[in-house]
């Protein structure tokens, strides 16, 4: 389920600590049933925004709405927006069962009702058989699952997560994130997730809000954030990109002709509204450049000299000098050629170049 109805609305919210403005007039709608990730470098305000939604901080200005109701001033425990942290924050002296059922206390359920609810959570999170253990007797992944189960046992419709997977090793991190995503979709939960890991954000989210210095730089689907960044900051922060400055010198057929120093490239015009004379930044992802098997001529083809390479498992990354530019190029089928050296010829599909207005 992923309707466009907003479950949470953040409207012109600002928050300062002393003289320092950590959140600057941020507005963001979180659709019901969606998985939204707040992504950005350290100190950009992700955790602060999360704590504002959860009710641990109050905004200095602006409003927060949950299901259409303004919640400014409403204490955290009345918001039904549980927050799961990187530190699992389980009660160390309580068993898995006691930890998970903790939130039910206020409802005063019968023993059987509590057991049924805990059993349902144990099964949902693959924790069957572990209910009698203490947190220290569990792996990191199991502890984090207990933390999720504890957060959701009251049937909450919203789940806030602040770097919840950061303490897990790489493999476990991917496993738990896939489970989390599957569960969020199955239960139709509205999830907000904080990370500074771009791969994680791209893999798990319906929408990503990229933060920069207390403001949202761009909100969009992972695809748009990666392939259609609206600023150099977003393009640079999410993934790796080659950047080049250029000027549009002509329009030919469906293409812009862009002059970048000694290199002239054709860029498919698509939806761009640029005109001849406009100065632009070209954003080119490393995997969008192809290393040719043999020299050829044509549009968007040029030569360079390999400076260094790095084997990344699923590909080899090359740094290729084509003075005055140095290109980063990812070769995803290295088995065919092994490591390349010396002069190579590069080709670039005109549809795979993204244009931004040149930032001053």
121 is a site residue for ligand ATP (CB under 6 A) = no
Smallest distance from ligand ATP to CB 63, Å: 19
Measure the CA–CA gap between 276 and 247, rounded to whole angstroms: 8
The pair phi, psi for residue 47, each rounded to 5°, is -65, -40
Residue partners of 170: CB distance under 8 A and separation at least 6: none
Give 50 or 121: the residue with its C-beta nearer to ligand ATP. 50
Candidate ranges 17-25, 247-255, 266-274, 293-301; the one touching ligand ATP (CB under 6 A):
17-25
Residue found under tokens 């992923």 = 2
> Pick from 221, 207, 175: which is nearest to 35 by CA?
207
Q: At what angle do helices 140-152 and 170-187 cross, to 10 degrees?
A: 20
Candidate ranges 39-47, 120-128, 133-141, 223-231; the one touching ligand ATP (CB under 6 A):
39-47
190 is a site residue for ligand ATP (CB under 6 A) = no
Residue of the chain from 8, 36, 46, 281 that contacts ligand ATP (CB under 6 A): 46
Smallest distance from ligand ATP to CB 77, Å: 20
Order of strands, edge to edge, in the sheet holding 158-162?
83-84, 158-162, 190-195, 35-39, 207-212, 215-220
> Pick from 356, 359, 358, 360: which is nearest to 272 by CA?
356
87 is a site residue for ligand ATP (CB under 6 A) = no
Smallest distance from ligand ATP to CB 87, Å: 13
- CB contact at 8 A, 310 and 299: no
Give 117 or 173: the residue with its C-beta nearer to ligand ATP. 173
Residue of the chain from 1, 43, 72, 337 that contacts ligand ATP (CB under 6 A): 43
Cα angle, residue 179 at apex, residues 178 and 181 outer, rounded to 5°: 65
45 is a site residue for ligand ATP (CB under 6 A) = yes
- CB contact at 8 A, 192 and 164: no
Residue of the chain from 33, 40, 82, 222 that contacts ligand ATP (CB under 6 A): 40
83 is a site residue for ligand ATP (CB under 6 A) = no
Give 47 or 300: the residue with its C-beta nearer to ligand ATP. 47
200 is a site residue for ligand ATP (CB under 6 A) = no
Residue of the chain from 30, 39, 44, 114 that contacts ligand ATP (CB under 6 A): 44
How many residues interact with ligand ATP (rule CB under 6 A)?
12
Smallest distance from ligand ATP to CB 213, Å: 9
Measure the CA–CA gap between 304 and 86, rounded to whole angstroms: 45
42 is a site residue for ligand ATP (CB under 6 A) = yes
Number of H helices, E strands in the chain: 9, 20
Measure the CA–CA gap between 275 and 250, rounded to whole angstroms: 8
Which structure tokens are listed for 315? 């590909």
Give 22 or 176: the residue with its C-beta nearer to ligand ATP. 22
Interface positions with ligand ATP (CB under 6 A): 17, 20, 22, 40, 42-48, 196
């Amino acid at each position: 389920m992923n309707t466009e109805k907003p479950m949470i609305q953040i409207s012109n919210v600002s928050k300062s600590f002393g003289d320092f403005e950590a959140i600057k007039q941020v507005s963001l709608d979180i659709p019901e049933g969606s998985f939204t990730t707040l992504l950005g470098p350290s100190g950009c305000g992700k955790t602060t925004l999360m704590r504002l939604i959860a009710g641990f901080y109050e905004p200095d200005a602006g409003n927060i709405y949950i299901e259409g109701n303004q919640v400014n001033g409403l204490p955290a425990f009345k918001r039904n927006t549980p927050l799961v942290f990187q530190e699992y924050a389980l009660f160390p002296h309580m068993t898995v069962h006691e930890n998970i059922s903790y939130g039910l206390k206020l409802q005063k359920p019968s023993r059987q009702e509590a057991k049924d609810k805990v059993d349902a959570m144990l099964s949902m999170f693959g924790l069957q058989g572990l209910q009698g253990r203490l947190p220290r007797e569990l792996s990191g992944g199991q502890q984090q699952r207990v933390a999720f189960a504890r957060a959701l046992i009251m049937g909450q419709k919203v789940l806030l997560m602040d770097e919840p997977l950061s303490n897990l090793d790489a493999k476990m991190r991917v496993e738990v994130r896939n489970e989390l995503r599957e569960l969020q979709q199955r239960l139709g939960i509205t999830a907000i997730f904080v990370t500074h890991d771009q791969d994680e954000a791209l893999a798990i989210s319906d929408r990503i809000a990229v933060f920069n210095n207390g403001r949202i730089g761009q909100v969009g689907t992972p695809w748009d954030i990666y392939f259609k960044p609206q600023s150099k900051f977003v393009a640079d922060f999410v993934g790796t990109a080659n950047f080049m400055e250029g000027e549009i010198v002509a329009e030919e057929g469906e293409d812009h002709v862009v002059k970048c120093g000694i290199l002239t490239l054709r860029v498919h015009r698509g939806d761009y509204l640029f005109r001849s004379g406009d100065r632009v930044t070209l954003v080119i992802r490393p995997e969008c450049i192809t290393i040719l098997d043999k020299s050829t001529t044509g549009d968007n083809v040029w030569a360079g000299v390999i400076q260094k390479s790095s084997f990344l498992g699923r590909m080899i990354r090359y740094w290729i000098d084509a003075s005055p530019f140095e290109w980063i190029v990812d070769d995803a089928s290295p088995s065919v050629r092994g490591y390349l050296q010396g002069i190579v010829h590069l080709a670039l599909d005109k549809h795979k170049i993204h244009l931004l207005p040149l930032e001053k």
